Structures are given as C-alpha cells and as structure tokens.
Structure 1
C-alpha cells in the first residue's frame, strides 16, 4: 500500500507527546549567543512529530560541497562534510522544557547537550538555553493543512542477503514537508570524546573507511503524499534534487503494530522496518497562536502604529 493508504487505514496518535503548537517544520531564523554575536545564515531545520525530533544543520549552499565519490574529496571538502549535523531523537516535554534522548546522529558527540526552554508566539518559537549560552528564534514554515506522520526506523535490510544497511533513524511528514534519517549500520567503535572530523581527517582518500564514517543520512524535502517529496537539503550531497523516498511498498504488521516498507535502494531490494509514533490524517499547522480578548482589543486599538510595518516572516 502507499503511505497515504497506510495513513487512511491505520490512523492513530499517541496519548502523550509535545504540545500541539510545537508540531511541524521549523527553520531557525537566528541564534544569539551570550557574547553578543548572532548567526543568521546556517541552515537549521527542526521537524517535530509527537514524540521525536529530526534536526539538520548545514552551511550556506555556496559553502556546501558538491556531490562526488568520497575518495575524490579533498581534505578540506571532507572537513566541511564532517561538520554537517543531522540527527533524530526521542523528545520529552516537561513544561516549559523539551529534552532529547536515544538519538541517532551523524556526529559522534552531542554538540547541543542542553534542554530547550520553549515558548511560541504566532509562527515564532523562542528557545532559551537554561545556561544562558544562547537564544534561538525558530519560525514555523507555511504549510497547507495536511498529514502528520511519524515513523521511527528500526533497520533497513537487504532482502536477499539480509545485510543491514542502516539502523536507527526515522521519517516525519508534516504537511508540505518531510524529513528522513538513516543511521549507520553499526555504531563506530571509538573512544569517548572522539570527534567525527578527526576520524575523517585520518581517512582522506580511503573510500572504504569514509563510506563507514558517512554511512548516514539526514534529508529534508518538500512536496506531498500525492506527488512525492523532493530533497532540498541533505547531509548527503548527491541526494539533493532526488525523491526523499518511495511512497509505496508499505505494509502494516498487525501482529506487533509495526510498519514494513519494501523498496529498491540503489537497485537493491530492501526492507525498512518502522515503529509508529503517529499517523494523523490532517493538522492545520496554523501560523497564529491567537490573543487573549484583552490583548486582541489592545492590538486592534493600537494597530495604526503596531501594524504599520508588520508582515509574515519565515
């Protein structure tokens, strides 16, 4: 069955999870640090399902590396790749704090160890680091009302050989957007504190070792369940412009409530096994959070100056 048919026939949602106002696809507009400096440019994407998050962080397009064979990258290009960030993790909400655990990550150490103190106004979600190190301004990306799908990946395995290609990851679809994470087949056995960029620096020109290190994907895409989703940002340069994933080949496994997808990957027949976080037919992904009656009256009364230059920002 297609992903749309899976959604229609087996809709469900967990009893607990993050607040409604946190669901969807956010892009970071700014991060301001305690030293007075601000970053307005890094591509940072946050897709939120009911109980897990997908996150992608990349430099500007002209600073990203072009797609080529791993062994053909220069040491400098490999360092750019090694500093990409992509992950998925379970999210736990204890108002006003969101924390993460059980992550699947490209990086080998946690670059963002603090929980997030969150509050939303309109399409703007503000995140404070409890330490005071930074504050982030996130903007909910405009979307027509649409599905919220959260599937956590257990593994991707070749059908004929039973070789495991990926373990851990997930798929989130939220309205007009979707993201996919595919974890490494096996964790890298390295000492605590080892950084990916150091391992990559020692593997320049070694295609086999680089393939192990970069056997990971986080991709963000735009589209629909009807037309498909096209990747526009990815930790894998060759994935940009491709379909995020096949939208058919899904099967609901009634015995344990899991989902299996059978699909061709690079010409090889594979199976992906998922657990279900949520399958919801439609959410509004509203840009507004609304006013109290008193605040609404104040805004209307003072709108000649308050609304003089207002416009939506994403």
Structure 2
C-alpha cells in the first residue's frame, strides 16, 4: 500500500511530547552561520528536520555539484539536557555519511518567531535556522531493523523518514557490507574510483520541499527523483514495513512510528510581554516598514 493510504488506517500519536522542546519540531533551513572570526556563510544548503526523538540533517555546498567526499548528512537520536538547557545528538559513525561527527558541540538554543538561534557553547559559531512549515501532516518514522527477505538476516542499518506538510526528509544508510568498505576509506583522497564513489554515495540523505520530489541529496542519482512512498504494510499501530530493492536484494525495512499527527501546528511565533507588544505596535511604522516573513 501507499504510505498515505496506510496512515488512514492507523491511530494518530496520543502523546506528542518528547525528550526535546516542541518548538524544535519541524523542518528548518539554515539562513546563516556566523563564526567567531567575523565570517558568515549564507550560501551552503543546510536542512534540519526534527521528529519527536530523532534528527535528519543534510549539508551541501551546491545542489548538484558538491564533491562526493564533501557532502554531509546524518541521522541521530536527539537528547535534551534539562539542567543545562542544551540540545545534544547521539550519532553513530555508520549513521553519518562521512563516518564521523563533524559537529561535536551541543547546542544552546533561543527561539524567537520562526527563528531558532543555535549557539555553540564555545562561541565558535551561531546558526540561524528558519521554520519552513506552518501546519499539516507531521510524521516521523525511524528504522528499527532491516531484514534480507531471502535469507532472513537482520542487517545493521539506520534510516528514517520525516514529513512536515510538503517538506520531506529521508535517510537510509549503506548496506553493511558496503559500510565495512567505506569506513576504511580516506574520503578526501584524490582519484577515487567510480565504484568507490558509488559505494560512498549509497548513503542517502534526501530532502524535498514539494511533497514528492527529492530536491537535494547526498546521492547523485537521487536528485530530482520521486520519494518512494509505496510498498508499505502495517505490522501494528506503531510499526510499519516497507519492502525495498537494494543492490538487487529484497530488503524489508521495519519502521517504528516516532510521531504521527495528521494536522500539526508548527511553531511560527513566540510569546513576549504585553509591554513589548505595545512598543512594537507603537513603533511599527519604522520597525516593520521592511519586515517580512523570511524563510
């Protein structure tokens, strides 16, 4: 069955609260990153999709021309340190396109309007993230296990799907035998062979903004291709299965439903004081003259 047909037959999540603040739920595009040395990058393509308990992240220098060894993408558990008000990520090396963590610091966050400001505790950078969605379907599926249909062998893989209205993020890591090869490679080495490049970029992180097409991807062959929402089955109210063909092998991907809301309202505004609202209203002819919603 098609995934969207499946959703008509399962209950929505009764609990949407999770280990992180709800203002982080959604699909965010990075507007800028500013560094301690005064430099700012506003051009790198960066997306952060957040489900209730896990993150999908994609970073490309250029939509289609980022060198294979310079692409970044990962999936990981999202953790919240309540005492220090810090966001942390738990990412296995095999759940990272680059086989190592590029962003080791936790995040100190401040939300205002549709913006999340992410400060590194060391003050080496600050990132400005913008919420891309207002309301709509909110679905997070996290890969629980992958099974070779012919042999019944369980495969060590990670993956996930996050849908926020028309914004979609999908991740599937490399097959174990390919990951065992890639993890020993120097991705920055010159003269990578064609079959090696194919093995490296078989780690897929894809982002779409129109509900069905992959606009950005770590996998060259996936750019501008449709997302595969077919061949899903219901195991139970909290578990779905999708059969996929990978390297001419039939693989069952078993997903756990992390969150499912058919019409979720994502945070686009934050509270302030009545006095501050009055100040903004009083001074709006100047303050809001050029103001607009910026994504």
Question: Structures share a fold, TM > 0.5?
Answer: yes
Determine whether 1:116 maps to 2:117.
no
Shift of 1:211: 3.6
Change (3 A) 1:56 1:82: same
Change (3 A) 1:196 1:19: farther
Match of 2:11 in 1: 10
C-alpha distance in 2 between matches for 1:184 and 1:107? 12
Q: Secondary structure at the match of 1:6?
A: helix
If the length of structure 2 is used for normalisation, what is the TM-score? 0.87
What is the root-mean-square deviation in Å for CA atoms of aligned residues?
2.6
Change (3 A) 1:253 1:61: closer
Determine whether 1:97 maps to 2:78.
no
User: What do residues 257-300 of structure 1 show as CA deviations (whole Å, max 9, x unaligned)?
Assistant: 42211345687644211122111112122422243222111111
Change (3 A) 1:6 1:257: same
User: Residue 235 of structure 1: which of 190, 208, 218 is its match?
Assistant: 218
Match of 1:159 in 2: 149
Match of 1:129 in 2: 120
User: Residue 277 of structure 2: which of 296, 301, 311 is its match?
Assistant: 296
Shift of 1:156: 4.2
- Greater mean alpha carbon deviation, residues 233-242 or residues 100-109: 100-109
Match of 2:97 in 1: 106
Shift of 1:53: 0.4
C-alpha distance in 1 between matches for 2:113 and 2:185? 38
Shift of 1:251: 2.3
Match of 1:279 in 2: 260
If the length of structure 1 is used for normalisation, what is the TM-score? 0.82
Q: Secondary structure at the match of 1:197?
A: coil
Match of 1:146 in 2: 136
- Conserved in 1, the CA contact under 8 Å of 2:147 and 2:252? yes
Match of 1:77 in 2: none
User: What do residues 125-147 of structure 1 show as CA deviations (whole Å, max 9, x unaligned)?
Assistant: 10000011101111111x35211
Alignment of 1:137-286 (within 5 A): 137-141=128-132, 143-160=133-150, 167-186=157-176, 187-188=179-180, 196-198=186-188, 201=190, 204-205=192-193, 207=195, 209-224=196-211, 229-245=212-228, 247-254=229-236, 257-263=238-244, 269-286=250-267
Shift of 1:159: 3.0
- Conserved in 2, the CA contact under 8 Å of 1:146 and 1:284? yes
C-alpha distance in 1 between matches for 2:3 and 2:12? 11
Q: Secondary structure at the match of 1:278?
A: strand
Structure 1: tracts of 5 or more residues without a match: 65-79
Change (3 A) 1:205 1:63: closer
- Conserved in 2, the CA contact under 8 Å of 1:148 and 1:280? yes
C-alpha distance in 1 between matches for 2:293 and 2:285? 17
Q: Secondary structure at the match of 2:7?
A: helix
